[in-house]
């Protein structure tokens, strides 16, 4: 989702004394500065949009509860009707306009039950959700829900804007650039921070903003000190955000599959039960409607069976078989700590358990992926998680803004003078041959795994080399 943009106001070099050879400047620090500067300038807008939309998304759970209170809540009651009665009420509203694909029973007293259908005009991963009072079977709402998280229209709009700017697959390139380059810019900025703090005397100015200095140096102080505190959070958002990306995300999934580190899924085949890798971003596919007649009473029956096996939370989704010869599935959908995503498959005819998958049996990579995704979305640790995400996202947006202000301070004035020196070109020109090869090899390796970063990084290296050749070098008098 997001970026840190640190540009260093390096003082002009002092002329060498007559008769002494020119001092060789360290090339790697100059390369990091150049990389950080250009990446921040060019990728900054993408990171700024991702940061602000991510901050807005972090605040949406509470907004959703307010805006859709009538649909999400019902009067508390000591009695609850069978799911069959609630499904009948929802089907009376939908009629022949959609097929039943899932039911989410009311998780707590005062919540509504969601009965979910297919429908015309729905997008990928969307369902038509009918909200039913579990005590009276009163239909309290009819909304479009999205994904496994079941977010409603407001959050869906913000989520899609954050993901792809509502431009489909083309728009996903923006978020992949933002997530991938964020990590690069953060690491480069962190390395420069380490180099600088080892040299300066006022080290505290790199740990907290210094408002006693004017202009550029004040901006730099805010940028550098804020950046180091946001470093871990920014790297986390970059790493987890990449898993949603179009190209790098696919490479991550292939790598996990190659090492048998995928997330196991429930088997619904009544002939043979075998867990297979699945996608943790579940719910981003198209809902599958059952091709067989569904008896509403079976929802109550399979839920009761699952509760004797491994389903022990109120947040569950019951899915009927998508085709003949398949089992019903009861899936826990609690994405807050402690994670509850166990699932069980039940033969609807015999009510025999045919398969089960328990989160406790997930491999470590699958568990870390699940926890990372849920933390990125702000659901893992509730309000505290949301507040940390909000602060990190707003901090990253401020970093981008300070970076552009610093760049503006360095602009040429009308008289031709500059208020600061931009990051000098030609960092690689002064590098040893092995340094150039290392950078090129690193760009190639990164490009194979993160294609958009690799392509843009190679372009940066070529442009930097060309500019260095065109830039006249000053010679001592």
Out of 200-204, 323-327, 466-470, give the one with best mean pLDDT. 323-327
Contact 335, 313 (CB under 8 A): no
Whether residue 179 lies inside any domain: the answer is: no
Contact 281, 243 (CB under 8 A): yes
Rounded Cα gap, residues 119 and 141, in angstroms: 16
| SS3 state at 211 | coil
Whether residue 345 lies inside any domain: the answer is: no
Whether residue 439 lies inside any domain: the answer is: yes
Rounded Cα gap, residues 292 and 446, in angstroms: 48
Whether residue 456 lies inside any domain: the answer is: yes
List the single range of 203-212, 264-273, 309-318, 417-426 with lowest mean pLDDT.
Answer: 417-426
> What is the total count of domains within the chain?
1
- Which residues lie across from 331 on neighbouring strands? 317, 343
- Mean pLDDT for all residues in the chain: 86
User: Which DSSP string do the residues of 420-451 spell out, in sequence order?
Assistant: SPPPPS-TGGGS-HHHHHHHHHHHHHHHHHSH
CA distances to 31, 214, 229, 455, 458 from 442, rounded to whole Å, are 13, 39, 27, 12, 10
Gyration radius of the chain's alpha carbons: 28
Nearest to 240 by CA among 194, 179, 283, 197: 179
The string of pLDDT tens digits covering residues 214-263 is 888 899 999 999 999 999 999 999 999 999 999 999 999 999 999 999 99
Rounded Cα gap, residues 295 and 350, in angstroms: 14
Instruction: Say which residues have a Cβ less than 8 Å from residue 366's Cβ, sequence separation at least 6.
Output: 261, 262, 263, 264, 280
- Which residues lie across from 334 on neighbouring strands? 340
The string of pLDDT tens digits covering residues 102-159 is 999 999 999 999 999 999 999 989 999 999 999 999 999 999 999 988 999 999 999 9
Which pLDDT value is given to residue 472? 57
Nearest to 39 by CA among 4, 10, 66: 4
| Helix boundaries (H) for 59-115 | 60-67, 69-72, 83-94
pTM given for the model: 0.85
Whether residue 14 lies inside any domain: the answer is: no
Q: Which helix (H) or strand (E) holds 357?
A: strand 353-357
Whether residue 434 lies inside any domain: the answer is: yes
Contact 17, 413 (CB under 8 A): no
Two tokens, residue 79: 């009695």
| SS3 state at 177 | helix
Whether residue 99 lies inside any domain: the answer is: no
| SS3 state at 396 | helix
Which pLDDT value is given to residue 292? 58
Is the pLDDT at 285 greater than 50? The verdict is: no
For the chain, the helix, strand and coil percentages under 3-state DSSP, each to the nearest 5: 50, 10, 40
The string of pLDDT tens digits covering residues 76-99 is 999 999 999 999 999 999 999 999
Contact 344, 329 (CB under 8 A): yes
**Residue 12 pLDDT level (bands cut at 50, 70, 90):** very low
Look-up: residue for tokens 């190209």?
A: 247
Instruction: Say which residues have a Cβ less than 8 Å from residue 236's Cβ, sequence separation at least 6.
Output: 372, 375, 376
Rounded Cα gap, residues 217 and 223, in angstroms: 10
Which pLDDT value is given to residue 390? 97
Structural domain span for residue 449: 429-462
Whether residue 445 lies inside any domain: the answer is: yes
Rounded Cα gap, residues 452 and 448, in angstroms: 9
Contact 10, 432 (CB under 8 A): no
Contact 328, 346 (CB under 8 A): yes
Rounded Cα gap, residues 271 and 338, in angstroms: 33
Instruction: Sort 322 into a burial class: Cβ within 10 Å, 0-12 / 13-18 / 19+.
Output: middle
Nearest to 354 by CA among 388, 390, 330: 330
Cα end-to-end distance, the chain, whole Å:
50
Rounded Cα gap, residues 6 and 466, in angstroms: 24
**Residue 420 pLDDT level (bands cut at 50, 70, 90):** very low
Nearest to 82 by CA among 51, 106, 48: 106
**Residue 281 pLDDT level (bands cut at 50, 70, 90):** low
Contact 300, 82 (CB under 8 A): yes
Instruction: Say which residues have a Cβ less than 8 Å from residue 368's Cβ, sequence separation at least 6.
Output: none
């Amino acid at each position: 989702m997001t970026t840190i943009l640190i540009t260093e106001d390096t003082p002009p070099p002092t002329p060498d004394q007559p008769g002494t050879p020119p001092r060789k400047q360290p090339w790697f620090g100059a390369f990091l500065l150049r990389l950080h500067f250009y990446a921040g300038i060019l990728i900054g807008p993408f990171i700024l949009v991702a940061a602000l939309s991510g901050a807005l998304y972090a605040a949406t759970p509470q907004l959703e509860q307010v805006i859709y209170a009538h649909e999400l809540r019902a009067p508390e009651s000591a009695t609850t009707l069978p799911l069959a009665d609630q499904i009948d009420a929802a089907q009376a509203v939908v009629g022949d306009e959609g097929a039943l694909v899932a039911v989410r029973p009311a998780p707590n007293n005062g919540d509504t039950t969601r009965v979910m259908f297919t429908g015309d005009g729905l997008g990928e991963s969307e369902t038509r959700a009918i909200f039913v009072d579990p005590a009276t079977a009163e239909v309290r709402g009819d909304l479009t829900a999205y994904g496994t998280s079941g977010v409603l229209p407001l959050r869906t709009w913000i989520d899609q804007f954050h993901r792809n700017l509502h431009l489909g697959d083309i728009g996903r390139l923006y978020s992949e650039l933002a997530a991938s380059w964020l990590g690069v810019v953060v690491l480069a900025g962190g390395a420069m921070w380490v180099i600088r703090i080892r040299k300066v005397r006022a080290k505290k100015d790199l740990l907290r903003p210094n408002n006693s200095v004017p202009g550029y140096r004040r901006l730099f102080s805010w940028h550098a000190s804020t950046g180091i505190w946001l470093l871990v959070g920014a790297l986390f958002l970059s790493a987890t955000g990449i898993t949603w990306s179009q190209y790098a995300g696919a490479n991550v999934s292939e790598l996990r599959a190659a090492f048998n580190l995928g997330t196991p899924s429930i088997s619904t085949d009544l002939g043979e039960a075998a867990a297979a890798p699945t996608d943790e971003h579940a719910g981003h596919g198209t809902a599958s409607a059952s091709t067989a007649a569904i008896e509403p009473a079976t929802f109550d029956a399979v839920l009761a069976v699952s509760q004797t096996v491994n389903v022990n939370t109120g947040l569950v989704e019951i899915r009927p078989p998508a085709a003949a010869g398949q089992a019903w599935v009861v899936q826990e959908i609690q994405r807050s700590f402690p994670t509850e995503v166990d699932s069980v498959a039940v033969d609807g005819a015999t009510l025999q358990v045919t398969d089960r998958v328990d989160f406790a049996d997930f491999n470590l990579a699958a568990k870390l992926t699940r926890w990372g995704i849920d933390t990125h979305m702000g659901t893992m640790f509730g309000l505290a998680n949301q507040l940390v995400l909000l602060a990190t996202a707003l901090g990253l947006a401020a970093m981008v803004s300070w970076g552009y202000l610093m760049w503006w301070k360095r602009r040429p004035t009308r008289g031709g003078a500059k208020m600061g020196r931009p990051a000098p070109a030609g960092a690689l020109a002064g590098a040893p041959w092995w340094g150039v090869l290392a950078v090129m090899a690193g760009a190639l390796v990164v490009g194979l795994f993160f294609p958009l970063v690799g392509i843009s990084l190679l372009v940066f290296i070529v442009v930097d080399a060309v500019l260095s050749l065109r830039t006249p070098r000053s010679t001592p008098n």
